[in-house]
């Protein structure tokens, strides 16, 4: 039988998976230009369940998944609140509830205000921030966070790694903001492409720093390798998105399949890059406030 902390760990992993699916669904709303397929909010055409035809499928489908994720986030926070986890983990879980609520309000606002770019860009970025938070929560609830893994390593290297992983996360996050500006305004395309170089440089530096760790089984090693691979894939998908959204003129009002595929894949893989950069950042430092999790029995 699973212990209580084992069940919380599973629940938080399930939440991460659901949020990832929700981000993918959100990206598909934008890529299909379906943001205004349902003109009202919180109801859709005055009902909870409109006919799922045309672009209503993408927009209302996204709202349904968002509703489920919001309830799941609340349920997770209540379970964590009732567990013997330390106060800062409880606060992290409730911060997730606040973020998902703000995110739903931004989603509603962007519809009612007819997709103003600042609101759509904020909705795009807050969605990924919420994803990063659920990843950190799942990590702190997992046994992996209890064995910090960096004990016995050169303190100078550890300090450097902590700085580097923070910078890398910030650079990837800035790249997300630029990407969202490109996606919702068509501006800053070259800034976004150029900034990819800074992201790549930092991903390589993290890889080099992690390769100097003496612990051959440090989970940071595979994590840094996967980050490098996903970043490379992101650039290939970005090139495809650039060709199909910026260089080739659309024929007709509907987004063609190749445009949807590249733009959505770049958006979704971008979420993986940001999420993994956040995970590497939390993995490379001790748990907040130096406290250790209580190990809950049953």
Q: Binding to ligand HEM (CB under 6 A): which residues in 139-158?
A: none
The minimum distance between CB 198 and ligand HEM, in angstroms, equals: 9
Report CA 167 to chain centroid distance, whole Å. Answer: 17
Residue 100 near ligand HEM by CB under 6 A: yes
Q: Which one, of 25, 9, 85, lies nearest residue 59 by Cα?
A: 25
The minimum distance between CB 185 and ligand HEM, in angstroms, equals: 10
Q: Which of 77, 238, 265, 272 binds ligand HEM (CB under 6 A)?
A: 238
Residue 72 near ligand HEM by CB under 6 A: no
Could you give the CA distance from residue 59 to residue 54 in angstroms, rounded to a whole number?
10
Residue 263: cis peptide before it, omega within 30 degrees of 0: no
Residue 182 near ligand HEM by CB under 6 A: yes
DSSP at 217: T
Q: Which of 63, 138, 202, 210 binds ligand HEM (CB under 6 A)?
A: 63
The minimum distance between CB 58 and ligand HEM, in angstroms, equals: 9
The minimum distance between CB 32 and ligand HEM, in angstroms, equals: 9
Residue 111 near ligand HEM by CB under 6 A: yes
Residue 280 near ligand HEM by CB under 6 A: no
Cα-based angle 240, 241, 242 (whole degrees, multiple of 5): 90
Q: Which stretch binds ligand HEM (CB under 6 A): 28-36, 139-147, 218-226, 250-258?
A: 28-36
**DSSP states of 18-60:** HHHHHHHHHHHHHHTT-TTSS-SSSSBTTBSS----TTHHHHH
Greatest Cα-to-Cα distance within the chain, rounded to the nearest angstrom = 62
Nearer to ligand HEM, 76 or 120 (CB): 120
């Amino acid at each position: 039988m699973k212990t209580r902390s084992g069940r919380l760990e599973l629940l938080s992993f399930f939440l991460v998976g659901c949020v990832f699916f929700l981000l993918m669904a959100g990206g598909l709303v934008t890529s299909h230009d379906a943001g205004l397929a349902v003109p009202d909010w919180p109801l859709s055409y005055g009902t909870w369940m409109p006919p799922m035809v045309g672009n209503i499928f993408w927009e209302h489908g996204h709202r349904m998944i968002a509703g489920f994720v919001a309830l799941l986030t609340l349920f997770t926070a209540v379970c964590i609140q009732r567990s013997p986890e330390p106060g800062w983990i409880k606060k992290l879980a409730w911060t997730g509830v606040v973020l998902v609520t703000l995110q739903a309000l931004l989603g509603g606002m962007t519809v009612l205000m007819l997709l103003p770019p600042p609101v759509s860009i904020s909705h795009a970025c807050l969605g990924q921030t919420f994803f990063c938070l659920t990843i950190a929560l799942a990590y702190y609830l997992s046994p992996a966070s209890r064995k910090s893994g960096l004990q016995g390593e050169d303190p100078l290297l550890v300090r450097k790694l902590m700085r580097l992983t923070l910078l890398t996360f910030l650079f990837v996050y800035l790249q997300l903001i630029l990407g969202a500006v490109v996606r919702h305004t068509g501006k800053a395309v070259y800034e976004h492409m150029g900034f990819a170089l800074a992201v790549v440089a930092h991903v390589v530096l993290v890889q080099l720093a992690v390769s100097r760790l003496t612990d051959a089984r440090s989970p940071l090693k595979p994590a840094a390798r996967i980050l490098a691979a996903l970043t490379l894939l992101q650039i290939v998908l970005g090139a495809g998105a650039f060709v199909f959204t910026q260089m080739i003129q659309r024929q007709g009002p509907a987004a063609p399949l190749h445009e949807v595929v590249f733009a959505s894949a770049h958006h979704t893989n971008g979420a993986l890059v940001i999420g993994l950069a956040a995970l590497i950042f939390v993995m490379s430092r001790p748990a907040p406030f130096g406290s250790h999790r209580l190990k809950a029995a049953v």
